[in-house]
Structures are given as structure tokens and as C-alpha cells.
Amino acid sequence: MQARLRDWAWRLKREVLALWIAARSPDTPWPARIIALLVAGYALSPIDLIPDFIPVLGLLDDLLIVPLGIALALASIPQPLMARYREEAARLAARPVSRTAAAIIVLLWIAALGVAVWLILPLRSPKA
């Protein structure tokens, strides 16, 4: 069971990566590019429509919205193109992961959050 689940997760990751490639390819028809961009962007985004900490509903969007979006995007992309994008996605997924790039992205998110808090919260001067 665990091996099947791991295999399903790997295939899902490859499909999302292939959709990201499809969204950026000029060979993909425009409606399919838009759908692929929206689905891949949502699947790769750390921000969910329904936050994961909400019991049951938080995981429901990951279990329903993402696979349904992938199915819609796959139906809109011609199969020969999708096969090419899957090959490229498998090749990209086999590359090593850059932990430095991940750390930089996390630091950028923290900095953006700090700036947002600084802009939202008014600076209060001490009363004299």
C-alpha cells in the first residue's frame, strides 16, 4: 500500500511538473496553457484555497481540486505534446535538488512577510 501511494505521489508530481512545462511552451494551445498554468501554480503554491489546518476540509482541496484540475488540463493538451512534456518532466525531476535555492526562497518569503507586517502595523511613537 505504501509503495503504491509513493508511486502515485511521484506520478502526480511529474504530471504537475509536465503541466508547468506545458504552460510555458509555445506549442501548447492557449486555452490549455492557461488551464495548465492555473493548475500547476495552485499545486506548486504553498498557499491553499482551504488551509490545511482546517480539519478534513483542509486536505480535501489537495485530494480533489488538484487531481481534478490535472485531469482537466490533461484533457485539453494534445497527447503527443503531453508525452514530450512528461519526458522532460521526468528528466528534470531526476536532477539534484538545490537546498541553497530553497533556503533563499524561504528567506525571501520571510523578508516579504516582515515588510508586509511593517507596512500593515503602524509605528507608534511613545506618548510624552
Residue whose entry in the numeric block shows the C-alpha cell 509555445: 26
Lowest mean pLDDT among 23-27, 40-44, 61-65, 95-99: 95-99
pLDDT of residue 106: 86
Residue 30 has pLDDT above 60, yes or no: yes
pLDDT of residue 2: 80
pLDDT of residue 32: 94
Tell me the pLDDT band of 124, cut-offs 50, 70 and 90.
Answer: low
Q: Are the beta carbons of 39 and 70 closer than 8 angstroms?
A: yes
- Higher confidence at residue 51 or residue 84? 84
Task: Please choose, from the candidates 28, 32, 36, 62, the residue with its C-alpha nearest in 3D space to the C-alpha of residue 47.
Answer: 62
Q: Are the beta carbons of 15 and 71 closer than 8 angstroms?
A: no
